[in-house]
Structures are given as structure tokens and as C-alpha cells.
Amino acid sequence: MKYLAAVLATSALILTGCGSDSSDSEKTANVSFAVSDAPVDEAESVTIAFTQVELIRQNGERVLLNVEPDSPGVDYQQLDLLDYQGSDSELIITQQPIPVGEYKNLILHISDDSNVNFVVDAQGTQPLKQPSNKLQLGGFTVSEDATQAFTIEFDLRKSLVMRGNQNNNNGYILKPHGVTIVDNEKAATLKVTAPVCALKDANFVYLYQGKSLDQGKLADLYDQEDEEFSSDVPEGTIAPYATAEANISGEYEFGFLPTGDYTIALYCNGSDDDSIQYDGLTIPQPAGKVKEATLVNGDVTTVDFAI
């Protein structure tokens, strides 16, 4: 997986909302956020201009964090999500005090300026559009710990899609599906090594949550919430939690995974997988290339398919 971040303005914390229950005596905790991504097959660059991070409390109160602009005259921080490889990371928010408690939504605001959000692929530079210029990512909890670190993870194979096709290109969009918020204290890293597949160069590992799974039910990527989804998915199908492509040495890496049990399966033809439609691919490929692992907080677990 890949990780990236950029620093947001530490002074730009604003609390707003009707019926606020905040007070000088309310408990706060320092939080840090980072942004990470798993790469998408066809993209050479995925560039996004962020303007704000908005946190919504259970009582409706908002916490707004404004980005540090790239330069005078703009209100955004422009980032290429593919700039950071492996387990490299860089914070987007550092040691910000916010009220302790449940937050029902985290919203990333994206600039609506022209030509600041785009994808570079084999056909050149394509527009990247974001409906309402927001990504609503769901809730998380801020405890009374002195400091908490979170990672906003983009699995670009799930979240980045092109509308239309190469001959009738309507641009890429970034969907919230495939973007998660992970508490770093409850996260782990998984590294996988395996022989490079001989069939094609799109060698992937598919990761499923749980152990002792029915291998006949392991599925490829699909998104039933997507407006273009039209597949029939067999009952009992197990969708992957994440995927990762091998480097030239046959190594794969997943970072900031929730701790717990996982099943890991090799698949040699990952480029055959449509991330929206259920394709009925036979996973694993080659047959029998499945292993299991239990991930523990803060640990790096290595799985070697040669053993």
C-alpha cells in the first residue's frame, strides 16, 4: 500500500452548530490524521486539491479544519495520492485538540476550481470529478487518550472509477466506497512475499477478513452500491477487504489494516477484475495459493508463500 499526507493549518480549528454542548471544561484530546492509498492499476497520478476537513459530532456540532494553501491566492492543498510508496506516511493533521466523544461523520472537502483535480493515465490527463465536492466517510471515536492517530485510507482500486469509456470519457470520480478511517492504535501491517506469476504482469494478493473461509466463495472486487452495478452475485460470496499488487520482487504490502484474522489469496491476473461488476473470477490462482494470518496491534506480520 501507499501512504501520503500534507500538513493542514494547525490554527484553523472552528467549532460551530446549534445546540452546542461544548464548554471550557469539556474534555478534549489531541488527534492526528494521515491519508493513505493503495494504488490503482491504470493511474500514473491521482491529484486532488483538498480545502477542508469537517468533523460532525453526534449533536450536530461541526469541527472545521482549513488546509494550509499551496500558495497565495488559493484555498487548497493539492496532493498526488501516488507520491508515497510502501509504508511511508506523512501527517495531514498534527496534534489538534478536539472534543472527546463520538463523531458521526468525517467529510473531506475538495476544491471546485478548474483543472486542480485530475488523473493521469495511459490516455493522458483526465478530469477527476467529485459529486458535491465532498467525500463523506462515516464515523469514528475520539477517546480520552492524550493523543490519537487516525489514517484515512483510500483503496483506489475500489474508489477510483471512470465514467464512460476511453472512447466516450466522462472523467474519473472518487467514491467513498473503499475509503476507511482506521485508528492507528488498532492497526497492523501485513507483508506478503510470493513467486511472480508467469501468466501476466498483474500479480495481486486478495485479502479477506476471517479464517477457515470457504475457498469456493472467495470473490473478486465488486461494488453493489455503484450506480452502474448490474451483476448477479451468488449467495454466500465473500468480498475482499483489500487488494495489493506485487512489485518486481514479488512482494506485496498492506498497511493500516484493522487487527484480527485474515485469509490471503494469490491471483495472477488482477487486471481482469472489474472493480464494479462481479466477474466470477476463480480465486486463488494458481489453485491452493491461500494462507491465513492473525494481525496484532502495531505489529508487522510477514506471510511467505514459498514456505
> Can you give the pLDDT of all 307 residues of the chain as single tens digits?
443 433 333 333 445 544 444 444 588 888 877 778 776 767 899 999 988 889 999 999 999 988 778 788 999 888 888 876 556 666 677 778 899 999 999 999 999 999 999 999 888 999 998 888 999 999 999 988 767 888 888 888 889 988 765 555 678 998 888 888 888 888 999 999 987 776 555 788 999 999 999 999 999 999 998 889 999 999 999 999 998 888 778 888 888 899 999 999 999 877 789 999 999 999 998 899 999 999 999 899 999 998 7
Specify the pLDDT at position 198: 64
Q: How many CB atoms lie within 10 A of CB 141?
A: 12
278 in Cβ contact with 226 (< 8 Å): no
Joined grid coordinates for residue 207: 485479502
285 phi/psi in degrees, rounded to 5: -145, 120
Enumerate the CATH 2.60.40 domain ranges in the chain, comma separated: 189-304
Q: How far is CA 60 from CA 20, 30, 136, 262, in A?
A: 8, 20, 15, 36
Specify the pLDDT at position 21: 46
Residue count of the chain, please give it.
307
Report how far residue 278's alpha carbon sits from residue 219's, in angstroms, rounded to the nearest whole number.
Answer: 8
CATH class of 189-304: mainly beta
Find where cell 496484532 sits. 296
Specify the pLDDT at position 77: 83
270 in Cβ contact with 220 (< 8 Å): no
Report how far residue 247's alpha carbon sits from residue 132's, in angstroms, rounded to the nearest whole number.
Answer: 36
Under DSSP, the state recorded for 197 is P
Q: Which residues does residue 14 pair with via DSSP β-bridges, in sequence order?
A: 64
Three-state DSSP at 132 gives helix
